[in-house]
C-alpha cells in the first residue's frame, strides 16, 4: 500500500491519454475501486445507476469506435461504464425501501419517507428523472477517480462518446439504463503519453474558494 497522502495521489493522477496495453490492473485493485463505487453516497440512498465492468476485447473495440477512437478504451485492461436509470418508477423506489427494511428493520417513517419520494419523483418528466439519476452516477465517478488514485491505477473519465451507440452495444436500454460516463482503468505509457510530462493546471485556492464567515 502506498504511503503517499491523498493530496499527493491526486497530484499524481491525471486523465491518462495513452495506456500501456501490456499492463493489466490486478483484480484486487479493480475490486477495491468497484467497492468504492458501490459505497458512494447518492440522494436518498437510491443508487439510481449501475456499473458495467467490461473486459471483452471485441466489446471494447466496439465501444472505442463509438468513443472517437480514444485508445484508453482498449489499451486499459478494464472499462467501467456508469449507466443511470432512465427513469424513477414505483417499482424501483419500492426496491430501495425493501433494501432499507431488510438491513435496518421496520424503522419509523420508512414507508412514509419513500412514499413521499415516489409521489415527488415518479410524476416528473422522464428526462428530469434521468438527469437526476445521472448526477448521482457522477458522484460515484468522483469516488472512483479517488479510489483509482489511492490504488495508483490510472484512469480516464470520458464523456466524449455516442451514448446511443454504447447503450446498444451493451443492451442498456432494454434494462432501463442509459450510459453516462466511461472510465478506462490501466497504467500509463510513459513513452507514449503527451500529457504526462506537463504540469497539472488548476485554479488557485484564492480564485476558486469563497469563504463566508
pLDDT in tens, 110-136: 999 999 999 999 999 999 999 999 999
pLDDT, tens digit (0-9, with 9 covering 90-100), for 7-45: 999 999 999 999 999 999 999 999 999 999 999 999 999
Q: Are 129 and 87 in contact (CB under 8 A)?
A: yes
Mean pLDDT of the chain: 97
Residues 6+ apart with CB under 8 A from 200: 11, 14
Q: What is the pLDDT of residue 2?
A: 75
Q: How much is the pLDDT for 108?
A: 84
Asked if residue 147 lies in contact with residue 36, where contact means CB atoms within 8 angstroms, the answer is yes
What confidence category does residue 1 fall into, taking pLDDT thresholds of 50, 70 and 90? low
Residue 104 is predicted with a pLDDT of 93
Average pLDDT of the segment spanning 161-176: 98
53 contacts 195 by C-beta, under 8 angstroms: no
> Model's pTM, two decimal places?
0.96
CA gap 196, 13 in Å, rounded: 10
Report which of 45, 52, 30, 39 is spatially closest to residue 167, judged by C-alpha positions. Answer: 52
pLDDT at 107: 87
Angle at the Cα of 150 from the Cα atoms of 36 and 84, rounded to 5 degrees:
35
Residue ranges of domains in the chain, CATH in brackets? 6-88+124-208 (3.40.109.10)
Three-state DSSP at 100 gives helix
Mean per-residue pLDDT, 91-105: 96
Amino acid at each position: 500500500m502506498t504511503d503517499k497522502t491523498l493530496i499527493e495521489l491526486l497530484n499524481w493522477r491525471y486523465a491518462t491519454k495513452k495506456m500501456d496495453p501490456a499492463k493489466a490492473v490486478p483484480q484486487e485493485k479493480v475490486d477495491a475501486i468497484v467497492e468504492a463505487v458501490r459505497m458512494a453516497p447518492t440522494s436518498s440512498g437510491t443508487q439510481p445507476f449501475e456499473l458495467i465492468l467490461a473486459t471483452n476485447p471485441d466489446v471494447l473495440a466496439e465501444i472505442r469506435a463509438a468513443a472517437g477512437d480514444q485508445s484508453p478504451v482498449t489499451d486499459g485492461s478494464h472499462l467501467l461504464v456508469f449507466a443511470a436509470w432512465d427513469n424513477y418508477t414505483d417499482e424501483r423506489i419500492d426496491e430501495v425501501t425493501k433494501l432499507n427494511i431488510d438491513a435496518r428493520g421496520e424503522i419509523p417513517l420508512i414507508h412514509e419517507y419513500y412514499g413521499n419520494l415516489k409521489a415527488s419523483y415518479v410524476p416528473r418528466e422522464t428526462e428530469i428523472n434521468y438527469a437526476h439519476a445521472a448526477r448521482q452516477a457522477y458522484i460515484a465517478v468522483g469516488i472512483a477517480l479517488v479510489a483509482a488514485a489511492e490504488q495508483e491505477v490510472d484512469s480516464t473519465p470520458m464523456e466524449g462518446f455516442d451514448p446511443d451507440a454504447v447503450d446498444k452495444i451493451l443492451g442498456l436500454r432494454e434494462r432501463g439504463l442509459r450510459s453516462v460516463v466511461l472510465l478506462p482503468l490501466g497504467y500509463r505509457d510513459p513513452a507514449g503519453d503527451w500529457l504526462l510530462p506537463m504540469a497539472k493546471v488548476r485554479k488557485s485556492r484564492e480564485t476558486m474558494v469563497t469563504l463566508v464567515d
